[in-house]
Amino acid sequence: MVIFRRLLGEVLRSQRMRQGRTLRQVSAEARVSLGYISEIERGQKEASSELLASICAALDVPLSEILSEVSDAVALEEAALAMQLELETTSLQRSLRGPASGPRPGDVVASAA
Amino acid sequence: MVIFRRLLGEVLRSQRMRQGRTLRQVSAEARVSLGYISEIERGQKEASSELLASICAALDVPLSEILSEVSDAVALEEAALAMQLELETTSLQRSLRGPASGPRPGDVVASAA
C-alpha cells in the first residue's frame, strides 16, 4: 500500500532542502509549530489541506507542483510494488510446479542430437 | 487558497461516476462508512492516507493517477486565482491614479491633427 503522507513529506523536505532553508525558517513563515512540520516531513502526521497550503506558500511553490511531484513518486512506488508482486507470483508458481516440472531459466537442457 | 481536500473529493467523485458506481458500492468495497466517504467526496473531511489508498483500490485506479488529476485541477484554480488577483490589482491602480490621469482603454482620444 502506497502511503500518501510519506511521499508528501519526502517531497516537502526535498523542496525545502533544495532552497537551503531550515525547518525553523519554514515553520515560522508557515506559522506551523516546528514539531508538527517535522512530523509531516517524516510522514508521521497527515497535513490538513489548510496547513499544506500554508507550507506551500512558505516554500513559494505552487501546491499543483508539489502534488505533481508526489504523483510521480507514488507512480514509481506503484511500479516497484507491481514488479515485486510479479516476482513473488512467478516464484510461487515455480514452487507449486515442483522441481521436476521441466527446465527453468538457467537450467542446462540436454541436446536431442 | 486552494484547498486540496475539495479537489481530491471532486476527482474521486468524478472517477466513481465515470464507472457508473454508487457511493454505497464503493463504501462497501473500501470498507469505509457511507457517511464518511460522502463527506470526503464533498470535500468536508480530510481522508487519511490509508483511507485514500482503500478508496483508490475500491475504484481500481492507481493513487498516482488520482493525484495527477488533482494536481491538474489545482493548477487550473491557481491560474484562475492569479488572473483574478491581477485584475484586482489593475483596477486598484486605476482607481488610485484617479479619473484625470490620462486615457484608459476604451477612452476616445482626440486627434492632434
Q: For residue range B73-83, list pLDDT tens digits in order.
A: 999 999 999 99
Complex prediction ipTM: 0.82
For position B112, what pLDDT does the model report?
Answer: 52
Nearest by CB: B64 against A48, A53, A78: A78
Here the cell at position A3 is 502511503
Distance of alpha carbon A21 from its chain centroid, rounded?
23
Residue of A nearest to B72 (CA): A64
Specify burial of residue A55 (Cβ count, 10 A radius: 0-12, 13-18, 19+).
buried
Cα dihedral value B61, B65, B70, B71, nearest 10: 170
Q: Give the tens place of pLDDT for each residue, B56-79.
A: 999 999 999 999 999 999 999 999
Residue pairs between chains A and B whose CB atoms are closer than 8 Å: 68
Chain A residues inside the 8 Å CB shell of B63: 2, 4, 74, 78
The shortest C-alpha distance from B35 to chain A (Å) reads 20
- Grid cell in block for residue A65: 507542483
Q: Which of B1, B3, B68 sits opposite A71 (nearest CB)?
A: B68
Beta carbons of A74 and B53 less than 8 Å apart: no
For residues B7 and A78, give the distance between their C-alpha atoms in angstroms, rounded to a whole number.
22
Q: What percent of chain A has pLDDT over 90?
A: 78
- Identify the helix (H) or strand (E) that includes residue B91: helix B63-97
| Cβ-proximal residues to A13 (8 Å cutoff; 6+ apart), any chain | A41
Residues of chain B found within 8 Å of residue A70, distances taken between Cβ atoms:
67
**Contact criterion met (CB below 8 Å) for B43 and B58:** no
> What pTM did the predictor assign?
0.82
How many CA atoms, within 13 angstroms, populate the side-chain half-sphere of residue A47?
Answer: 31
d(Cα B48, Cα B25) in Å, to the nearest integer? 20
Query: Residue A105 corresponds to which cell in the numbers above?
Result: 531459466
**What is the DSSP secondary-structure string of A85-112?**
HHHHHHHHHHHHH-TTSS--TTPPPPP-
Mean pLDDT score of chain A: 91
The stretch A18-28 carries a mean pLDDT of 96
Largest CA distance in chain B: 79
Q: Report pLDDT for A98.
A: 81
pLDDT at A111 over 60: no
Alpha-carbon gap: B80 to the closest alpha carbon of chain A (Å): 13
Nearest to A74 among B4, B46, B63 (CB): B63
What would the pLDDT profile of B21-47 be if each residue is shown by its tens digit? 999 999 999 999 999 999 999 999 999
Confidence bin at B102 (pLDDT 50/70/90):
low
